[in-house]
Each structure stands twice: as structure tokens, then as C-alpha cells.
Amino acid sequence: MLEEYGRHVSEGCLMKRVKLPFAPDLHVEFVDRDRAIQQVLEWAGKGTRFPIAVFGPEGCGKTAWLRQAAELLREGGYEVVYVDPLHREYLTCTDVKAVVEKFVRAAAEVIGTAEVKLATLAIDAVKDLLKLGKRKVAVLVDEVFQAIGLEKAGVYVKSLLNLIEYPPESYERIVAVVATSEGVSRREIGRHRWADLMPIWNMSKKGFEELYEKLPSPKPYPEEVWRWVGGNPWMLSQLYQAGWDAGIVLSKLARRKRLTAFTQSLVPEERRWLMQAVEDPDTLFTRERLPLLDKLVELNLVVDSIEGREGWYWVDEPPPEKSLELGVGRYIAWQTPLHREAVRRVLEEAM
């Protein structure tokens, strides 16, 4: 999974830079997220008092960051377990063969069983490593709530907290991070004091340009593509694979989200509110429009948790204070400009 490396210097930290799949015909090195890497270094230096629950737009780069974090923690002397149950992927940076073999067997299970087993094994593996006397252990879990069910999000995070507070053996440090694009799971986790909730946003413009430079030509001007994807690397990948045809990407997005059926389910007043939100997402931030906002969050079309821009609140850099060009409001933001445009087109067709 992380066989190929480059070198990356981040504020004095020399680290191996993982190479990640961008498209079926292209792998690219990890770029940007310098501040997020520094945050991982800080966690590595003292451990995490609570699990860190990271949430952000679909395709914003959470997986790439977690895989780079796994390498960074391994270099820092940690036994590392990285699991993506939804895609049945895992990485074990440990010399304990018994732990590795358990992951191999779990991943080989049938679909529907493997995902749950991998999610559970991420926690059990940490227990096993602590029992064997490992003093520094990291567990990084990606998109677990889609695999086990959103109703179990709180229980899963509590299990991670129990590793920190009630370990089977004493330890020096534990780093526990769980990441999700499911906006609804944030509410479930936020009901309890079991995790530190931290949002992550799409790549900065500078980081986006670094990634864009790695893509082969011919390609459009970067400013044009930035206005479509707003720094979301997965959407950039979709445009690249569609031969830079935004219309194809928009059609696929509308069908995947079932936007026609969604807009038809709305009463005329809600469709009017939705069209206003296309121009300014903050218009959803009123009492009577909150039910519509909740539906958009459930569909992973908007993010409703960006009311603060303080550095300590965010993994990496926060979004701009407000950018209607990108669909970013002060309190609410479209996940990408393409998400907003897909909704706009479906609404216009329905009128």
C-alpha cells in the first residue's frame, strides 16, 4: 500500500512521502498539508488524550493524510495500525506477525463481514500490541462509520477512548484518529465527551496547484479547474478521468446523489430556499430552513460545521472566511463547487 516513497521537508521535518493512487493510470506523491503533518508530529510527541475524530468533505484528502501520518508515526517509533474498513484496506507497521496475520484473515472474509471485522480488529490489535509490551502505538481508522453503521459511531469512539483510559498494560503514548466524511456521524459523536472533534477542509490553493502540476498535459488552466473543484483532490481526479469534461462529472454526481428524486421530494418553498443556497449557503442557517440543511448534510452535499476559523479547531488550514465563488459561507459550505453546480442544474431543469 505504501511501497513507493519520495522525500518531503515540512518545517524542518524530513519524512518519506507516500505515493498514492490518483487515477487507474496515475500515482502521485503526497503534497501539501504541512500544518496537518505538524499536528501529527505534536500528537506523536505527547499522544492523544482523547481520540481525534476528523470529519470533512468527501474526497478532501483525509485518506491521503492518514496514510502519510501512518508513515510519519512509523518513523517516530510507533507500532501503527491503519484500517479503511469500507474499502477493505489495512496497513500494519509492526513486527508482530500474529497481528498482521489477523488482518490478512479478516480482509479475506466475504463482503459485509470483512468490513466489520477489520473495524473491530483495529481496536483489538492495539490491545494485543500493548499486551506484548509495545510502548508507543497508533491506530488510524478511515471511514469506519459507513462500514459499521452510523448508529454505532459513538460506541466505536468510546472503545477507542477506553484504549487510552483503560489499557490492558501500561504504555508510553497512544495516538488514536478516526476520520469520516459522514456529516451525520459528527452529531452522534458530539453528543458525548468521548472524542475531540476536528474538521478538515479541501486543499489550499497552493497545495492544489502543487498537485495539479503533477498531472500530465494537455490540461486546462489551473484557475479554471480550481473554480470547479475548490481544492478537492477526488473531484480533481474525476475531472482528469473524464478528460476535463465537467459536464460528465456533474451528470455522474447528480445520479450518484439521486438529485432529481431529492429535488422532486421538496415542496416549492424548499426548492426556492435551495436555489437561494446555491448562491449563498448561509441562507440555510435559519430556524425554518434547518430541516432542509439537515437533508443536504445527510446527502453529503454541504458541510454545516465551519462556524469557527481558529487554527486549533482545524486539521490543517481552515477554509476561507467566505468565498461565494467556491460556495463557502461563514457557517455553511458546499462540499465543492461541483456539488453546488450539480444541484443548480437539476433545479433549473425541474423549473
Indicate whether 75 pLDDT > 50. Answer: yes
Q: Could you report the per-residue pLDDT of 32-46, keeping only the tens digit for each?
A: 899 999 999 999 999
- Report the alpha-carbon distance of residue 216 to residue 28 in Å, rounded: 11
Task: For residue 54, give the C-alpha cell.
Answer: 476528523
Q: Could you report the per-residue pLDDT of 79-129, keeping only the tens digit for each?
A: 999 999 988 999 999 999 999 999 999 999 878 888 999 999 999 999 999
- Report the alpha-carbon distance of residue 85 to residue 141 in Å, rounded: 8
Confidence of residue 4 (pLDDT cuts 50, 70, 90): very low
- Residue 10: the pLDDT is 37
Indicate whether 186 pLDDT > 80. Answer: no
Confidence of residue 148 (pLDDT cuts 50, 70, 90): confident
Per DSSP, the residues of 290-340 read HHHHHHHHHTTSEE-------GGGSBSPPPPS-BTTTTB-SS-EESSHHHH
- Residue 189: the pLDDT is 80
Kindly state the average pLDDT of the residues 192-207: 92
Query: Scanning the structure block, which residue is given the C-alpha cell 461563514?
Result: 330
Domain residue ranges of the chain, discontinuous segments joined by +: 5-199, 205-350
Kindly state the average pLDDT of the residues 149-155: 84
Q: Could you report the per-residue pLDDT of 296-348, keeping only the tens digit for each?
A: 999 999 999 888 899 999 999 999 999 999 999 999 999 999 999 999 999 99
| Structural fold of domain 5-199 | Rossmann fold (3.40.50)
Residue 28: partners with Cβ closer than 8 Å, 6 or more residues away? 19, 20, 22, 211, 214, 215
Q: Could you report the per-residue pLDDT of 278-300, keeping only the tens digit for each?
A: 999 999 999 999 999 999 999 99
